[in-house]
């Protein structure tokens, strides 16, 4: 089965996290959305349509014109019911809820032409009306659905035998049948993993340091590190090559981001290459327990979320100083340096240098220096293509 992902207008609600990635590259549960679908459908590497400024960094993949292709709306998550529906699609049929195209089965020649032109046209397909399925409509959906998606993803984890893992005899694993540990992982003395209420996934070469407590559902992904004495609560994902410590609840770290010290983070989304300073704390609940209003990234209008718990949404390459306080429902754009002694604004534009009572533009050359300094520590180059993407975002940023 060939797969190709496309985005719709509702996907704009997912900025600023999607300023630097296609929607299908968002992480929820253990995997990114594209990988979840590839595993669920046993498909080869998916193709995708891409916004122009992402095309130098992300692969568009290829489509074989001689084979039919399943087109998937990037916001939709695989579930048993949706998988059944898409598997039943015949060539020329389109699965639709209201005005929203969820999936379509299209012949190879047409698919290859759409892929070449980087656009779709579902208007000539036979529409199959359906009830809605699980999807990401707003950023907070990511952490709200995260526990459910960890459960779904662990159902796809293959059971491997004779793998090398290191589990201290002084570690305690409650309900071990729901604890999935991959090759090369290490669980040090004094760790307590509690999987009564949901599974715990420990990825390949991940390390859970001594004295850490984890309550599932939780995913600690490939080569991630949980620092000593950490407390990680339900519905949390620590993405690949992340380092985390302190207290974390119902949050998602995408990859290569660090929160290595004490401080609370709850109901939050952290992009790539972020560094959370020691004793940075996020508020995820208002003092009067009312629902939270957030600022729409594009319109800059206040939106009533209807949610009681939202912490911080932080795009890639953001940094906070020690003792930073982040207010309920804070949204940080790309490449922000936050060192305010007071609560910073709840909306921080991309490329901002945020001190007490002042926001200045983070000069692009200085931002690149910080990016490169962090990335080289993980042997990841700051390529010309990556600079080009960042430059486009800088030049088109919203103040």
Q: What is the CATH classification number for the domain harbouring 15?
A: 3.90.550.10
CA nearest to 149, candidates 35, 17, 264:
35
Same domain as 163, residue 24: no
Same domain as 152, residue 114: no
Same domain as 175, residue 130: no
Last residue of a domain, one of 116, 136, 156: 136
Three-state helix/strand/coil letters over 207-232: EECCCCEEECCEEECCCCEECCCCEE
Alpha carbons 77 and 47: distance in angstroms, whole number: 17
Q: Tokens standing for 254?
A: 């995408």
Helices (H), 303-383: 364-376
CB 13 within 8 A of CB 299: no
- Name 225's bridge partners: 207, 243
For the chain, 399 residues long, the average pLDDT of each consecutive 10-residue run is 95 96 98 96 92 96 96 97 96 97 97 97 96 96 98 86 90 96 97 97 97 98 98 98 98 97 97 97 95 93 94 97 95 95 92 89 95 95 97 91
pTM metric for this prediction: 0.96
CB 29 within 8 A of CB 180: no
Q: What is the CATH classification number for the domain harbouring 207?
A: 2.160.10.10
Q: Tokens standing for 298?
A: 């594009």
Predicted pLDDT at 256? 98
CA nearest to 118, candidates 5, 258, 272:
5
Predicted pLDDT at 157? 79
What DSSP string runs through 244-257? Answer: E-SEEES-EE-SS-
Predicted pLDDT at 205? 97
Same domain as 179, residue 321: yes
Last residue of a domain, one of 110, 136, 162: 136
Same domain as 115, residue 46: yes
Same domain as 127, residue 154: no
Predicted pLDDT at 162? 77
Q: For residue 377, what are the domain limits?
A: 143-395
Please state at what angle helix 384-395 crosses helix 364-376, rounded to 10 degrees. Answer: 140
Last residue of a domain, one of 136, 153, 183: 136
Predicted pLDDT at 357? 74
Same domain as 358, residue 330: yes
Predicted pLDDT at 160? 75
Same domain as 197, residue 104: no
Predicted pLDDT at 90? 97
Write down the residue that tokens 């059971």 correspond to. Answer: 159
Same domain as 232, residue 100: no
Write down the residue that tokens 């998606």 correspond to. Answer: 149
Alpha carbons 135 and 46: distance in angstroms, whole number: 19
Same domain as 277, residue 365: yes
Dihedral sign computed on CA atoms, order 338, 342, 343, 349:
negative
Predicted pLDDT at 340? 87
Same domain as 268, residue 165: yes
Of all helices (H) and strands (E), which one includes residue 394? helix 384-395
Same domain as 104, residue 200: no
How many domains, in total, are found in the chain?
2
Q: Tokens standing for 141?
A: 């959906």
CA nearest to 234, candidates 294, 273, 178, 274:
178
């Amino acid at each position: 089965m060939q797969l190709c992902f496309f985005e719709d207008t509702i996907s704009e609600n997912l900025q600023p996290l999607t300023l630097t990635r296609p929607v299908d590259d968002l992480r929820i549960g253990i995997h990114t959305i594209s990988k979840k679908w590839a595993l669920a459908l046993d498909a080869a590497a998916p193709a995708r349509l891409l916004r122009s400024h992402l095309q130098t960094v992300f692969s568009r993949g290829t489509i074989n014109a001689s084979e039919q292709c399943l087109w998937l709306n990037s916001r939709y998550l695989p579930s048993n019911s949706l998988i059944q529906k898409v598997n039943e699609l015949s060539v020329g049929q389109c699965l639709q809820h209201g005005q929203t195209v969820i999936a379509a089965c299209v012949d190879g020649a047409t698919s290859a032409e759409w892929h070449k032109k980087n656009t779709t046209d579902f208007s000539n397909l036979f529409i199959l009306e359906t009830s809605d399925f699980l999807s990401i409509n707003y950023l907070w959906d990511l952490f709200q659905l995260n526990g459910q998606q960890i459960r779904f993803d662990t159902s796809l984890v293959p059971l491997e035998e004779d793998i090398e893992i290191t589990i201290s005899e002084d570690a305690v694993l409650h309900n071990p049948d729901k604890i999935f540990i991959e090759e090369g992982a290490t669980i040090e003395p004094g760790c307590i993993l509690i999987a009564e209420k949901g599974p715990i996934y420990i990825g390949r070469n991940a390390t859970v340091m001594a004295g850490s407590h984890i309550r599932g559902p939780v995913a600690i992904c490939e080569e991630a590190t949980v620092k000593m004495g950490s407390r990680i609560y339900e519905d949390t994902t620590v993405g690949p090559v992340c380092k985390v410590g302190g207290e974390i609840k119902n949050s998602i770290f995408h990859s290569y981001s660090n929160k290595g010290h004490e401080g609370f983070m709850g109901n939050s989304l952290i992009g790539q290459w972020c560094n959370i300073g020691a004793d940075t704390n996020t508020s995820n609940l208002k003092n009067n327990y009312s629902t939270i209003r957030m600022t729409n990234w594009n319109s800059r209008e206040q939106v009533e979320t209807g949610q009681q718990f939202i912490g911080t949404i932080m795009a890639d390459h953001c940094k906070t100083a020690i003792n930073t306080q982040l207010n309920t429902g804070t949204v940080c754009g790309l490449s922000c340096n936050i060192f305010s002694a007071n609560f910073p604004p709840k909306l921080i534009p991309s490329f901002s240098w945020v001190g007490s009572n002042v926001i200045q533009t983070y000069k692009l050359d200085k931002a690149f220096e910080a990016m490169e300094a962090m990335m080289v520590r993980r042997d990841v180059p700051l390529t010309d293509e990556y600079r080009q993407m960042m430059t486009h975002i800088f030049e088109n940023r919203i103040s």
